Structure formats: structure tokens, C-alpha cells
């Protein structure tokens, strides 16, 4: 499928130079990649449709509103803080 002639042509278009050994190696590697992609494209996916629903919205938890943690608990380990938030020193 992917042969040295095609690899040479693509190398010329890309302005990449290969030695004879590199050309043989890259040709073999590209042929393996294309063979693998052909195998992947043959996969039956009739039962799995993720085109419009990649996350699977039927399997995520319900979004519930609940109170936040108390501010004093959140700030208790802060090295620098004011009354309402973390204080971050300016770094330039």
C-alpha cells in the first residue's frame, strides 16, 4: 500500500531528505500505521453512537445545588489571607 515511490514523492513535496535506509524504515513504519488505521476503520460501531453525545449524558450525575463549605474552613490553611479570600503576593 505505502511504497518507496510514494514515500519519495511525499518527501520531495515536504522538502525532506532521507538516506536509502531511512527511506526504507519510514516506508515500513508508514505502511504499518496505514494497516492499523484500516483495521480500526473496520470496527463495528453500530451500537455505539458518540457523534453527538461523546460524554454519554445519560450516565452523568444530576446537577444538584448545595451550600458551599464554610469560608473559615476553606481559609484555615492559607498562609496569607484577608477576611474573605486568599491573599496572593504580587510576583513580577
Query: Would you say 2 and 34 are in contact if contact means Cβ atoms under 8 Å apart?
Result: yes
Q: What is the pLDDT of residue 49?
A: 57
What whole-number distance in Å separates Cα of residue 51 and Cα of residue 63?
23
Give mean pLDDT, residues 16-38.
Answer: 92
Give mean pLDDT, residues 40-65.
Answer: 70
Does the pTM of the predicted model rise above 0.85?
Answer: no
CA-nearest of 31, 32, 27, 21 to 8 is: 27
Q: What is the pLDDT of residue 6?
A: 92
Question: How does residue 18 score in pLDDT terms, banded at 50, 70 and 90?
Answer: very high
More confident residue, 61 or 6: 6
Q: What are the C-alpha distances in Å from 59 to residues 49, 51, 55, 65? A: 14, 16, 8, 19
Q: What is the pLDDT of residue 28?
A: 94
Amino acid at each position: 500500500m505505502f511504497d518507496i515511490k510514494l514515500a519519495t514523492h511525499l518527501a520531495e513535496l515536504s522538502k525532506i531528505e532521507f538516506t536509502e535506509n531511512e527511506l526504507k524504515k519510514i516506508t515500513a513504519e508508514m505502511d504499518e500505521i496505514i494497516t492499523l488505521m484500516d483495521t480500526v476503520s473496520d470496527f463495528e460501531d453500530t451500537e455505539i453512537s458518540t457523534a453527538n453525545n461523546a460524554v454519554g449524558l445519560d450516565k452523568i450525575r444530576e446537577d444538584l445545588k448545595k451550600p458551599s463549605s464554610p469560608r473559615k474552613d476553606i481559609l484555615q490553611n492559607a498562609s496569607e489571607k484577608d477576611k474573605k479570600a486568599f491573599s496572593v503576593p504580587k510576583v513580577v
